[in-house]
Amino acid sequence: MTSQTFKNLTVEKDEDGIWVVTLNRPEKRNALNAETIEELIELFSKAPRQGARAIVLAAKGDHFCAGLDLVEHHDEDRRPEDFMHICLRWHEAFNKMEYGGVPIIAALQGAVVGGGLELASSAHIRVADQSTYFALPEGQRGLFTGGGATIRVTDLVGKSRMIDMMLTGRVYQGQEALDVGLMQYLVEGSSFDAAMEIARKTAANLPLTNFAICSAVSHMQNMSALDAAYAEAVVAGVVNTQQAARERLDAFAKKTAARVRPNE
Ligand code: 1HE
């Protein structure tokens, strides 16, 4: 186990390539200041080339993330172009996550709001516990989402729900949040433990396969159906003929590989 400490994040890496990245500013409810975004960019730019097989994105304290650091934003009194550049850095960080090719599993608790939801929606899998709640309070603050919510949260919940969340500040939690697609897992116990289990499961896949899953699907969403079908064929050409897959195919052919069965 090795660890790396940024000012606002901690990173722990085990020998299996499972990384735990923890937002570490609980006294400010893990609000995202400009410095944290730079740290996320640095971390997620390098992770795919540093042997990360799966990453759990967690947060210290009772709340996952309170979104944009509103106090910093207030104190900086930014000009439009300053905040545009801030948003572009958020996009840089979140695109590195979504398109980086390493599975990212977000372990959520408490508030996942505003930019915190934008961060969580850049992960590939979201796991919530019973305390988790989601909202976009920007509307009530006189603001607008700037970290990709119009794209990623809309993808998750659909346009009408997204607009409702933005207009009314509606809070989703529990089964309802699961039903509308804000997360894929709702657990009784610790979202962190469940996320670790999922991370280990995904890390058992071949890295090239995970790379394709955690980058190609997102890229293909941005393409026409015709181009996406072409890109899918090219990606499958590379992934499905990788040498490392031979062993798994061999095992299937020899009937030693696990079969796909319904849940008990
Ligand atoms: C913060 C922030 C923040 C807390 N920026 N400092 N996001 C929001 O509108 C959410 C705003 N935050 C909250 O509603 C609440 O803080 C929570 C529900 C998340 C947590 O409540 P609670 O009672 O546990 O904490 P608190 O007493 O409100 O805050 C504790 C400290 O965290 C306090 O600092 P302190 O120095 O006075 O102790 C708060 O100021 C600080 N804090 N949230 C800065 N967000 C790219 S565009 C994205 C647009 C957005 O994300 S808009 C932000 C939406």
Q: Which residues line ligand 1 (CB under 6 A)?
A: 28-29, 31, 63, 66-71, 87, 90, 111, 113-115, 137-138, 141, 143, 145-147
- Residue range(s) in the chain whose domain bears CATH number 3.90.226.10: 3-203
Within 10 A of 100 (CB to CB), how many other CB atoms are there?
23
Give the CATH fold of the 3-203 domain: 2-enoyl-CoA Hydratase; Chain A, domain 1 (3.90.226)
User: Tens-digit pLDDT profile for the chain (264 aa)?
Assistant: 888 889 999 999 999 999 999 999 999 999 999 999 999 999 999 999 999 999 999 999 999 999 999 999 999 999 999 999 999 999 999 999 999 999 999 999 999 999 999 999 999 999 999 999 999 999 999 999 999 999 999 999 999 999 999 999 999 999 999 999 999 999 999 999 999 999 999 999 999 999 999 999 999 999 999 999 999 999 999 999 999 999 999 999 999 999 999 998
- Which of 27, 70, 131 has most ligand 1 atoms within 8 Å of its beta carbon, as the pocket-test mutant? 70
> Which pLDDT belongs to residue 264?
86
Which token pair is 163? Answer: 């607009």
The size of the chain, in residues, is 264
Q: For this structure, is 72 an active site residue?
A: no
**CA of residue 181 to ligand 1 center, whole Å:** 24
Which token pair is 176? Answer: 């309802």
Helical axes 80-99 vs 34-46, angle rounded to 10°:
30
Task: Select which of 38, 98, 118, 188 is catalytic.
Answer: 118
Question: What is the SS3 assignment for 95?
Answer: helix
